[in-house]
Structure 1
Amino acid sequence: MKILLFANTDWYLFNFRRSLAEALRSAGHEILLISPSGPYGERLQDLGFRWLPAPMDRRSLNPLRETALLLWLWRLVRKENVDLVHGFTIKCAIYGSLAARLARVPARVNAVAGMGYVFTSQQPLARLLRPIVRLLMRLALDGEDARLILQNPDDVSLFEQARLIQPGRVRLIPGSGVDCSRFVPSAATRCDIDSGPFRVVLPARLLWDKGIAEYVQAARLLRAEGLPVEFLLAGAPDVGNPASVPLPAIQGWVEEGVLQWLGHVEDMPALFQSVHVAVLPSYREGLPKGLIEAAACALPVITTDVPGCRTVVTHIVDGLLIPARDARALAQAVKQLIEDRELREKLGAAARKKVLEEFDERIVVEKTMGVYAELLQPAPTEYAHESK
């Protein structure tokens, strides 16, 4: 069986779907990965995967360019004789699925992690595009030979209310999973950092709707109180997203001394093992992988009571939930954890347990392959996890 995985960045394929690709390959299937060109494409090829650069501009609204992309995808899936196309994020889901329908590909699977810029932003362009995208989603995502994977119950309800797809064709799978043998707590490191300043990290792409402004303001509030706390920002601007935080703004915060910007961090387990708390004051998520990775390292997490985030955290059980767009509530939650080490340890232990039970990548991969099995026979064999 030949399976095509299509994402809007090679970074996403490498970091979020590599385990799925490895499992499918181990089960004897032929895998084709496509995304816009980038440095991670070569890394995927080094792992023995076949990866092709797609002529895709994530921000393009040019009808000719978008039509050319659709035609390129249609020709590709016909030439490759693909059995199943799996698209990730809204644009890839729509274009990949439309191309698959036109080419009469037997099965289509789409994974939408959150509703994206068009549905979350109130900017005029996003509001103008919304009805067009809704129409395209109805055309692309539905059908007896299609399944839609969503990451949280709020998005399932939203899609059902919008009548974008028949409810029986929706599957709820929590994110892309986390390698719990790599993201682990480190008691030795935790003892070491307790003697220094309290360290908080926000791990995410630098988008305004991740709550970056509120994070900065919370850092200012606690700094004004004279508390020994360091705010770290781990991630890079996403220039392909209209909500990307401008680089001068980030540099200004660093010069102000309000936070430390780490940029892209390759070794996230080591980072999580060097801090006390992970924070994500997002406005809406599919399922935030950075929070799950932090929780797997037994970190207490602070996040907002919004779709996606509240799937990861139950308030006072395995983390703290705060209102969205509320810097003072964020500052107060951080202060609470600074002052209560026992609570930090309790929340961190519960967070690790929850990840092992619900978000381990083995669970996610098995469920995803189960969706493939609904559409195609013979079914892919069960995922056999190998420690990395």
Structure 2
Amino acid sequence: MKVVLFANTEWYLYNFKLSLAHELRDRGCDVVLLSPPGEYAARLEQAGFVWREVPMHRRSINPFRELRVIMQLSKLLAAEKPDVVHNFTIKCAVYGSIASKLVGTRGIVNSIAGLGFVFTSRKLLARLLQPVVKGLFRVSLGGVRSTVIVQNPDDLAFFNSADWLKAREVCLIKGSGVSLTRFRDRDRQSVLDRSKPLRLVLAARLLWDKGVREFIDAAKYLKAESPNCRFILAGTPDGGNPNSVSDEQIQKWQSEGIVEWLGHVSDMPKLFDEVDVIVLPSYREGLPKSLIEAAACGLAIVTTDAPGCKEVVNDDGKNGLLVPVRDALALARAIQRLEEDRTLCMSLGEAARERVLLEFDERIVIDKTIAVYEQLTNVTFQRVAPEVQQAGIPS
């Protein structure tokens, strides 16, 4: 069996899908990784995987350029002859599905982790693009050989209500999962020391719809009222997204002492070991990996009651605090509550990790994903003995 994994960045494949690629290889599959070029492509190849370049520009809406990308992708798939093509994010799902259908791929899986800029932004461009994207969904998604994977019930309801998909063509798998060997429990006792500031991090691509503005406004409010908090941004602006915060704006906030900006962080377990709370005031997500990674490390969670985010926090609030979307004052009050009640902060972190152990272990997510492949292809992806893999004997 050959499986192609196609994403809009090589960084995404390396950080979010490498465990899936390893598991597929352990089950005797040939794995080919596709993405636009970038520095993480070499790391994918160093991990022993075949990587192929797809010259896709994430922000391009030039129809001639985009048609060329689909044709190049079709040629690449025709040469590779995969049994399953698994596409990640909206643009890859549309282009990968069209190309896969053109070459007769046996199984097509589209993971749509949140509906993105087009469906969350209030900008004119987003409103103009919505009917276009829905039209592309209608043309590309669906069919007896296809399955759409979503990460939260709201997105499941969106696709189930679409007249271009049948219910059996959509399934819910919560998130990408988290490696519990890499993201481990930490000593939470230090959070009880109120002589030290409460350390809060927003770890994400620095987009306005991740709630960056609300995080900054909450920081401004609390630094005036209760200066015993440190606000940290971990991540970089995303030039491929129209909703990106600018470098200049972030540097201005940092120079004013509102936040500390770490830029890109490659060692996330180390970061989570050095903070107390993860904050994600996002407007809409698939199921945010940063939240479940932080929860696996025993951090308290403050996030919004938005689709995706609210799936990580229980309704009873025992493993995190939920606040309304776009409400900086409510966000500030939730943070202040944790600063004043450090015991609550610690107990939320303990409960957050317990939920991750039960629901978000990446092994659970990978097994469910491979079950989708098996359903589409009518083939069982069994693990192969190490000596068989080394000999290159087909399974």
The TM-score bracket by the shorter chain reads over 0.9
In structure 2, C-alpha distance between the alignment counterparts of 1:232 and 1:191, rounded to whole Å: 16
Matched, 1:71 2:71: yes
In structure 1, C-alpha distance between the alignment counterparts of 2:292 and 2:211, rounded to whole Å: 17
The residue number in structure 2 matching 1:351 is 352
Q: Provide Cα deviations, 1:279-304, integer angstroms capped at 9, x if missing partner.
A: 00000000000011110011110000
- Judge which range, 321-330 or 186-195, deviates more: 186-195
Matched, 1:101 2:116: no
The residue number in structure 1 matching 2:362 is 361
CA contact (8 A) 1:287 1:311 kept: yes
The residue number in structure 1 matching 2:264 is 264
In structure 1, C-alpha distance between the alignment counterparts of 2:272 and 2:163, rounded to whole Å: 40
User: CA distance change for structure 1 residues 193 and 47 in 2, over 3 Å: closer, same or farther?
Assistant: farther
In structure 2, C-alpha distance between the alignment counterparts of 1:121 and 1:365, rounded to whole Å: 31
Secondary structure of the equivalent of 1:227? coil
In structure 2, C-alpha distance between the alignment counterparts of 1:185 and 1:317, rounded to whole Å: 18
Q: Provide Cα deviations, 1:125-181, integer angstroms capped at 9, x if missing partner.
A: 222221121111122110011111000001001112233411111111011110011
CA contact (8 A) 1:214 1:325 kept: yes
Secondary structure of the equivalent of 1:13? helix
Between the aligned residues of both structures, percent identity stands at 52
Q: Structure 2: which 5+ residue stretches go unaligned?
A: 386-395
Q: Provide Cα deviations, 1:164-203, integer angstroms capped at 9, x if missing partner.
A: 4111111110111100111112217846976522110011
Secondary structure of the equivalent of 1:32? strand
CA contact (8 A) 2:28 2:384 kept: no
The correspondence of residues 196-207 of structure 1 with structure 2, limited to 5 A, is 196-207=196-207
CA contact (8 A) 1:190 1:273 kept: no
Secondary structure of the equivalent of 2:161? helix
CA contact (8 A) 2:201 2:231 kept: yes
The residue number in structure 1 matching 2:336 is 335
- Judge which range, 188-197 or 257-266, deviates more: 188-197
Q: What TM-score do you get using the length of structure 2 for normalisation? A: 0.94
CA contact (8 A) 1:366 1:383 kept: no
In structure 2, C-alpha distance between the alignment counterparts of 1:300 and 1:268, rounded to whole Å: 16
- Judge which range, 337-346 or 161-170, deviates more: 161-170
Secondary structure of the equivalent of 1:114? coil
**Equivalent AA in structure 1 for residue 359 of structure 2:** E
**Equivalent AA in structure 1 for residue 301 of structure 2:** V
Secondary structure of the equivalent of 1:187? coil
The correspondence of residues 174-253 of structure 1 with structure 2, limited to 5 A, is 174-187=174-187, 190=190, 196-253=196-253
User: CA distance change for structure 1 residues 148 and 351 in 2, over 3 Å: closer, same or farther?
Assistant: same
**Equivalent AA in structure 1 for residue 90 of structure 2:** I
Secondary structure of the equivalent of 1:291? helix
The residue number in structure 1 matching 2:37 is 37
Q: What TM-score do you get using the length of structure 1 for normalisation? A: 0.96
Secondary structure of the equivalent of 1:354? helix
The correspondence of residues 145-184 of structure 1 with structure 2, limited to 5 A, is 145-184=145-184
CA contact (8 A) 1:193 1:274 kept: no
Query: RMSD of aligned C-alpha atoms?
Result: 1.6
Matched, 1:21 2:24: no
In structure 1, C-alpha distance between the alignment counterparts of 2:238 and 2:302, rounded to whole Å: 23
**Equivalent AA in structure 2 for residue 198 of structure 1:** L
In structure 2, C-alpha distance between the alignment counterparts of 1:164 and 1:348, rounded to whole Å: 42
The residue number in structure 1 matching 2:128 is 128
Q: Provide Cα deviations, 1:292-329, integer angstroms capped at 9, x if missing partner.
A: 11100111100000100010012421100000101111
**Equivalent AA in structure 1 for residue 72 of structure 2:** W
The residue number in structure 2 matching 1:319 is 320
In structure 1, C-alpha distance between the alignment counterparts of 2:163 and 2:245, rounded to whole Å: 33
Secondary structure of the equivalent of 1:38? coil
**Equivalent AA in structure 2 for residue 104 of structure 1:** G
The residue number in structure 2 matching 1:292 is 292
In structure 1, C-alpha distance between the alignment counterparts of 2:358 and 2:191, rounded to whole Å: 27
In structure 2, C-alpha distance between the alignment counterparts of 1:297 and 1:342, rounded to whole Å: 17
Secondary structure of the equivalent of 2:333? helix
In structure 2, C-alpha distance between the alignment counterparts of 1:16 and 1:60, rounded to whole Å: 24
CA contact (8 A) 2:228 2:339 kept: no
In structure 1, C-alpha distance between the alignment counterparts of 2:128 and 2:164, rounded to whole Å: 18
CA contact (8 A) 1:6 1:85 kept: yes
In structure 2, C-alpha distance between the alignment counterparts of 1:322 and 1:188, rounded to whole Å: 24
**Equivalent AA in structure 2 for residue 351 of structure 1:** A
In structure 2, C-alpha distance between the alignment counterparts of 1:143 and 1:328, rounded to whole Å: 46
The residue number in structure 1 matching 2:141 is 141
In structure 2, C-alpha distance between the alignment counterparts of 1:309 and 1:168, rounded to whole Å: 25
